[in-house]
Homo-oligomer: A and B are copies of this chain.
Amino acid sequence: MPQNAHTVPINFATDPSRYRHWRLDCAGTVAALTLDVDPAGGLFPGTELKLNSYDLGVDIELADAVTRLRFEHPEVRAVVLRSGKANVFCAGANIGALARASHAHKVNFCKFTNETRLAIEDASGHSGQSYLAALGGTAAGGGYELALACDWIMLIDDRRSVVSLPELALLGVLPGTGGLTRLTDKRRVRRDRADLFCASEEGARGARALDWRLVDEIVTPSSWDEKVAERARALAATSDRPQDAKGIALPALEHEHADDAITYRHVAVALDRGGRRATITVRGPTGVPGDLAGVHAAGAGFWPLAMARELDDAILHLRFNEPELGIIVFRSEGDPVAVLAADALLEAHRGDWLVREIRLLLKRVFKRIDVTSRSLFALIEPGSCFAGSLAELAFAADRALMFAGTRAGDNRRPATLTLSPLNLGAYPMGNDLTRLATRFLGDPDGLANAAARVGDALTAEEAEALGLVTASYDEVDWDEEIRLTLEERASFSADALTGLEANLRFPGPETMETRIFARLSAWQNWIFQRPNAIGEEGTLKRYGTGLRPRFDPERV
């Protein structure tokens, strides 16, 4: 059994007043997000976070800041990422923490940091909030990868500050947060130059960094502050964010943790350790505002936003703190009509900045589910409300199973599945297709037939005939089929399931995002298992000891 470096549950809730590693300063249209890592503030005891190196705790704060900037600061149009330490922007992931972490934690840590960097790109791509990496000192490894997620990279030209990806040369692993993919696919660095750069411990500075497209601008120290401010203003000027809007505060989520359950307001998680599964039940809204003003007034209490934040927290909790629960079962309870009413608000007011943010957050939460390495089942039962946005959970699942008819003596509504316009475009997957388009990749007519039924409460028979669910069972078979299915799934090799799902969930086209999660991450996961990295004489074990690693030279 792998050793986990952490014994207390990891908690993803934070806010700027509690940050230990970042400072968020908002002043008008430009915000500054300053990395100033507290070396003693590592998530796990015994880790010293030197040189602005980070562990998961640092990235949890960054993820929080990126989200809050979007919801709480509609006025912010550009964000400057900078360092609070002299001569160093960020030294990347902390190697001591990485070396001591279990394999599962390494992989989950990289996945989360990747999601945070993609959230930055999502903010600049869709939310009118540009990110400027102001590298006033060296950005190494994950530090440079953080810069690569920004719209514009400025490097101080002081003859000493470099950008580098020294993972290969120093650590015998790969850049784990998209660095390779962004070098070639986002910045279009020529592949042999990328090879040279990634094989060099020293990195590149000044004119070469610019010439090779590794940074966008180099600036002398004397004009640094002025040029950074100027560039931030220029980026801010391209934004479509509102002028005089009022932000929405994101208060801490209310929830209760018991040994076998987590209860939020709209989301309940039941933990079945014997059955190796977690059941996430999403409760639909009990009412929705009548208009856009009502949405703003409800703020973080507006059901789609509140539900999305809770669901996100639940997924992260399961990923990091419940690694042996290999199955997530999605259920829902409530009135589909109310869910559709919330969707109608999200669709009618899509041009509003807050509604846009809520849609984008839902998109990111569903994407987080897509890349969660647990088997996903959706059970669509009487009394459920898999409609519109919530139906995405059924389309994200590896299988969606639907109850046909009702149970004797059960007076709840028979199960229905209802599409809303949001299923047809609001929530693209990492492959840039909607889940429905991904589902019907080989069957464009099937997609059109389903789309034609937007708004119709589809019975199990109809949903199955339309190809929207995997199978349906009536009262006679349901309990037994579900039990067998979940027991069988729990009996399979956890690793093989992870690989299977990572392949089958993303048919068809690939994007930079899917390449980061698949090509890059799968290779990194492999390397993270190999003796050359984690053996007694491997790079991660020997890093910082003064001893050189010993490698098995065999090429696989």
Chain A residues in contact with chain B, CB under 8 A? 1-2, 103-104, 107-108, 167-169, 171-174, 180-181, 183-185, 187-196, 198-199, 213, 276, 323-326, 373-374, 397-400, 438-443, 467, 470, 488-490, 492-510, 515, 518-520, 522-527, 529-530, 532-533, 539, 549, 551-556
Contact = CB atoms under 8 A, between A and B. Distances in A.
A556 B102 CA distance: 10
Contacts of A2: 552, 554
Given A188-B443, A505-B191, A526-B522, A180 B500 contact: yes
| Number of this chain's copies in the complex | 2
Given A185-B508, A323-B554, 19 more contacts: A104-B555, A107-B556, A172-B493, A190-B440, A190-B467, A191-B505, A191-B507, A192-B470, A195-B500, A198-B504, A323-B556, A324-B555, A496-B532, A497-B555, A499-B524, A506-B519, A510-B519, A518-B518, A529-B530
Contacts of A196: 399, 470
A412 B506 CA distance: 54
Nearest to A181: B503
A168 B500 contact: yes
A324 B554 contact: yes
Contacts of A549: 493
Nearest to A326: B555
Given A180-B500, A193-B470, A504-B198, A533 B168 contact: no
A555 B492 CA distance: 11
Nearest to A522: B522
A195 B509 CA distance: 19
Contacts of A499: 174, 523-524, 526-527
Residue among A188, A467, A494 having the largest count of chain B Cβ atoms under 10 Å: A494
A504 B438 contact: no
A174 B499 CA distance: 7
A493 to B, nearest CB: 3
A185 B399 contact: no
Contacts of A495: 172, 526-527, 530, 532-533, 556
Contacts of A104: 554-556
Contacts of A552: 1-2, 494
Nearest to A397: B192
A524 B502 CA distance: 11
Residue among A493, A507, A515 having the largest count of chain B Cβ atoms under 10 Å: A493
Contacts of A508: 184-185
A192 B400 contact: yes
Given A104-B554, A374-B555, A496 B190 contact: no
A212 B503 CA distance: 18
Nearest to A491: B551
Nearest to A494: B555
A519 B518 contact: yes
Contacts of A439: 190-192
B496 A519 contact: no
When A and B form their complex, which 7 residue pairs have the shortest distance between CB atoms, in order from nearest? A188-B442, A172-B493, A184-B507, A522-B522, A499-B523, A510-B510, A192-B470
